[in-house]
Amino acid sequence: MKIAAIICVCLSLTVGYFTGINLPARGADSERVRGYIALQAKDTDIVYFNTNSSKYHIASCRACKACTHCIELTRKEAKQRGGVPCKLCGANE
């Protein structure tokens, strides 16, 4: 249990250091945490939209690399086409 807590603290500090986002302390409500994480995803980000499945991916996703029906769109355009984030990469959402 102590090791898991230490890993969580280290991960939070690392994320905060590299993104400039300070995650809330332990015990904060999940909505607030989701709000911090959502800052990473922007409507202008480029995603790869599968025209068959209507799922969209980030470029480093293994499903995207194997996709033969993916086109490059902004996140906003993918959502307007009814797209949903990939279950593997989450499209950084």
For the chain, what is the largest distance between any 2 Cα atoms, rounded to a whole number of angstroms?
Answer: 46
Query: What are the pLDDT digits (tens) for 75-91?
Result: 999 999 999 999 999 88
Identity (one letter) of the amino acid at 83? G
Q: How far apart are CA 2 and CA 48, in angstroms?
A: 40
Asked whether the whole model's pTM tops 0.85, one would answer no
Q: What is the mean pLDDT of residues 59-66?
A: 91
The residues near 73 (Cβ < 8 Å, ≥ 6 apart) are 46, 47, 48, 49, 56, 81
Average confidence score pLDDT of the chain: 75
What does the block give as tokens for 81? 């086409």
